[in-house]
Amino acid sequence: MSSGSSSVALAEELLRLVRSTHLDDAAASAVSGSPSSTQAAHDAKNLIAETCDALMRSVLGPSEYTVLLAESCQESSALYFITSLGVADVIGEASVGLAELSTQLNVEPRFLSIALSCLLPRGYFDEVGGFGSQVYRNNELSRLLRADDPQTLKDAIGFVGDEGFKATSYLLEAAQQQQPSGENAAPALPAVNLAYGFKQSVFAWMADPEHSYRGQRMGKAMQQLHRMANGGVITDFPWATLASPVVDVGGGIGSLELALTKTGTNGNVNFTIFDIPETIANAQKTWAAQPTTAQAQISFVPGNFLAPTLEETKLPQGQPTYLIRHVLHDWTDDQVVAILKNVRSAMIAGRENSSDPAPKLLLCEMLLRPTSSRFVRTTSMQLLALNDGVTRTEGEMVRLVKAAGFQVVKVHDMRAVDSIIEATP
Ligand SMILES: C[S@@+](CC[C@H](N)C(=O)[O-])C[C@H]1O[C@@H](n2cnc3c(N)ncnc32)[C@H](O)[C@@H]1O
């Protein structure tokens, strides 16, 4: 097939896909954070995005497409630059000229106009009066860059553009480190350590008071990134039927619980958020601002899921349900098995003679599949750079779960990038 005819075939396929699904519904859900109306609409959205990309490859040809892909980091940098400066915040509901923006933000107008000209054709901001007027106003995309927008992505863009981007730029060096040998050799460092020059884990580094703004931003970024992918996780899994309390291991600031209690989809189910002490302190600050009914469903336990003994982990013991969401992808296979073994010990502690139903482990993770979206694959790069993490296939995850002594009961698929693996100890 010549490149011309394959473009036509792709365009026809695109039209067929768009007509066969409720794309308007899919687009609306992308804004509100709720899932597509059906699993078919959810799947079609990914397929449509992939077909658009295939059409672009076909129309542009290999060289132009590859140069564009290589240069797309500049668009990403423009988005980070404009968002971090607070351009959309300064514009607010008004129309603001370049000179005024430059004065208010205390930056050279040249930098602003070049970065904005990168973003305008991608749909961010409107240039009032047409090309070259250099008077800007917000539109439905650029409002997401405002801190005060309910759908804000400001922290997510900050985290991805700062720690994320700097860390991935060191992947080559990280991959080429001499692998240490010998029993007591410290492991090679993840890219983020090389980028910023620290030795501890990225979580401990961000928890340090000197960098605590990074930890707080990452917490909010997780919430904002999850909102995009969360919809089906909140609605398609029967949270309200779980036995309480659910111990959320590595629960962060409780972004899952914030979404669940906001929609009420957890019914009367209570949660215990378990995380390192610094993150628990951030979580408590976040929850202090929530409605008291929501606060009443949440408790907090600081600890360390990798501590050498069960007592030292401080994991709550003998509870009916344990959840681990978006945590295992941060760790190597050996560390995952160590975390899961600690959690398993906590689950069965004190239950030797109990006739209660077996406790449940729920692992909520993105799984790598042939159909995995661009988001899943780019997130994998991010995980690798930040903590030597990885997005695993279902087979790889199941192997580790079994290696830690669990039996897999079921894999729940949802209208989401995440799946939930249910297991018993
Ligand atoms: C990617 S975040 C996921 C947070 C949360 N589960 C969510 O889905 O929003 C990983 C979490 O693991 C926590 N964590 C890292 N090391 C830990 C440790 N040794 N013990 C307990 N929690 C840890 C981090 O503080 C962070 O909150």
Report the candidate in 94, 23, 10 with the shortest Cα–Cα distance to residue 53. 10
Helix axes 277-288, 212-236, angle to 10 degrees: 70
Distance 250 CA to ligand 1 centre (A): 4
Query: In terms of Cα–Cα distance, which of 119, 121, 27, 122 is closest to 79?
Result: 119
pLDDT at 32: 47
| Smallest CA separation from ligand 1 atom 20, residue | 304
Cis bond before residue 359 (omega within 30° of 0): no
In degrees, rounded to 5, the angle at the alpha carbon of residue 177 between the alpha carbons of residues 175 and 181 is: 120
| Nearest protein CA to atom 26 of ligand 1, as residue | 252
- What pLDDT is recorded for position 42? 74
Residues 6+ apart with CB under 8 A from 356: 320
Give the Cα separation of 91 and 114 in Å (integer). Answer: 17
**Burial profile 350-388: b = 16 or more Cβ within 10 angstroms, e = fewer:** ebeeeeeeebbbbbbbbbbeeebbeebeebbebbbbbbb
Please tell me the distance between residue 175's alpha carbon and the centre of ligand 1 in angstroms.
Answer: 24
Q: Whose CA is nearest to atom 15 of ligand 1?
A: 203
Both tokens of 197, joined, read 């020059």
Q: What number of residues does the chain have?
A: 425
Residue 145 Cα to ligand 1 middle (Å): 26
Nearest residue by C-alpha to atom 6 in ligand 1: 251
Ligand 1 mean position, distance from CA 251 (Å)? 6
pLDDT of 350: 77
304: CA distance to ligand 1 center in Å?
10
Q: Are 233 and 35 in contact (CB under 8 A)?
A: no
Q: Which atom of ligand 1 is nearest to the CA of 279?
A: 25
Closest CA to 91 of 76, 105, 74: 105
Sheet holding 360-366, edge to edge: 298-302, 271-275, 246-249, 321-325, 360-366, 418-424, 407-413
Which of 275, 323, 366, 384 has most ligand 1 atoms within 8 Å of CB, for mutation? 275
86-149 under CATH 1.10.1200, yes or no: no
Q: Is the dihedral of CA 233, 235, 238, 240 positive or negative?
A: positive
Residue 82 and residue 145 in contact, taking contact as beta carbons nearer than 8 Å: yes
148, 153, 154, 160: CA torsion to nearest 10: 170
Instruction: Please say whether the beta carbons of 283 and 300 come within 8 A.
Output: yes
- 222's tokens: 């997780």
What is the whole-number distance in angstroms between the Cα of residue 285 and the centre of ligand 1? 16
φ, ψ for residue 37, nearest 5 deg: -65, -30
Give the CA-trace dihedral at 81, 85, 88, 91, to 10 degrees.
-130
* pLDDT tens by residue, the chain, 425 residues: 444 559 999 999 999 888 887 655 545 444 445 566 667 777 788 889 999 999 999 999 999 999 999 999 999 999 999 999 999 999 999 999 999 999 999 999 999 999 999 999 999 999 999 999 999 999 999 999 999 999 999 999 999 999 999 999 999 999 988 766 666 666 689 999 999 999 988 888 888 888 888 988 988 898 888 777 666 888 899 999 999 999 999 999 998 999 899 989 999 999 999 999 988 998 999 999 999 999 999 999 999 999 999 999 999 999 999 999 999 998 889 999 999 999 999 999 977 777 788 899 999 999 998 888 888 899 999 999 998 889 999 999 999 999 999 999 999 988 888 999 999 99
Strands (E), 334-399: 360-366
Question: Distance from the CA of 327 to the center of ligand 1, in angstroms?
Answer: 6
The domain 231-424 belongs to what CATH superfamily?
Answer: Vaccinia Virus protein VP39 (3.40.50.150)
Note the pLDDT of residue 361.
Answer: 98
Pairing assessment for the beta strands 360-366 and 321-325 based on DSSP bridges? parallel
* Ligand 1 site, CB within 6 A: 203, 222, 250-252, 255-256, 275-276, 279, 304-306, 325-327, 330
Global pTM exceeds 0.80: yes
